[in-house]
């Protein structure tokens, strides 16, 4: 073998070793390492949290928590689902009618809007002497609902049964006050006293869900 051939072979061997070192050193990217990092990131990704609230539209504390719920939704977006269930208390005269009005609006795709309007004006319609039905009918008109359907749904046996069914469900789940919160199916023994406290609890459940 002549001197030139030896030099060519040496150069080829050097290039093979150098490229291999660069590949395994990560300059070109190690596909296995990348896959492992992606899997690790997926494991750390927070999982969706479901917050279930048993509530009464006449309850001042329930109204107060709507601000916290809106903040949570604004911060966590689709990572949190907040579900409202009816728990009308007999101590409030118009609670059941309010629940029926919200469900009548749901039948036309406007539950959230009716929910917000009912809570916003709670001080107006909630007193025993108030004409609550007139308020709820007015909200339905503002929302542009089909009023014949809305009026019929207010008296609907199906809606009345739905509200009663949620009330009885809450009783079976040891709900005895409003609001009562369940996160991922677990009842909170004590309601959070601030937004930050509620946020911390939600984040804890997100972490638990991802492990």
pTM of the model: 0.77
pLDDT at 8: 38
pLDDT at 36: 45
Contact 54, 180 (CB under 8 A): yes
* CA–CA distance, 65 with 144 (Å, rounded to integer): 27
Please compute Rg for the chain using Cα positions. 29
pLDDT at 158: 98
* CA–CA distance, 181 with 193 (Å, rounded to integer): 13
pLDDT at 208: 75
For the chain of 211 residues, list the mean pLDDT of each consecutive stretch of 10: 44 40 37 43 70 98 97 96 97 97 98 98 97 98 98 98 98 97 96 96 83 53
The pair of three-digit structure tokens given for residue 61, joined into one six-digit string: 């504390």
* CA–CA distance, 198 with 64 (Å, rounded to integer): 13
**Paired strand residues for 140:** none
How far does Cα 133 stand from its chain's mean position?
A: 30
Tell me the three state secondary structure of residue 89: coil
Contacts of 66 (CB under 8 A, 6+ apart): 116, 119
Element spanning 50, H or E: strand 49-55
pLDDT at 207: 82
pLDDT at 105: 98
């Amino acid at each position: 073998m002549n001197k030139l051939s030896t030099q060519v072979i040496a150069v080829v061997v050097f290039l093979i070793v150098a490229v291999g070192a660069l590949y395994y050193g990560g300059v070109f990217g190690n596909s296995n390492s990348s896959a492992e990092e992606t899997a690790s990131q997926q494991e750390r990704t927070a999982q969706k949290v479901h917050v279930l609230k048993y509530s009464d539209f006449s309850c001042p504390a329930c109204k107060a928590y709507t601000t916290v719920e809106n903040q949570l939704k604004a911060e966590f977006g689709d990572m949190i689902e907040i579900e409202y269930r009816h728990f009308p208390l007999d101590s409030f005269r118009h609670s059941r009618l309010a629940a029926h009005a919200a469900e009548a609006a749901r039948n036309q795709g406007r539950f959230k809007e009716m929910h917000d309007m009912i809570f916003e004006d709670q001080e107006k319609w909630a007193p025993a002497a108030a004409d609550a039905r007139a308020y709820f009918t007015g909200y339905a008109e503002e929302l542009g609902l089909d009023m014949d359907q809305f009026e019929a749904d207010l008296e609907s046996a199906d809606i009345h049964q739905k509200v009663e069914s949620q009330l009885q469900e809450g009783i079976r789940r040891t709900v005895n006050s409003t609001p009562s919160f369940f996160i991922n199916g677990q009842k909170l023994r004590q309601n959070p006293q601030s937004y930050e406290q509620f946020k911390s609890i939600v984040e804890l459940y997100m972490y638990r869900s991802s492990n």
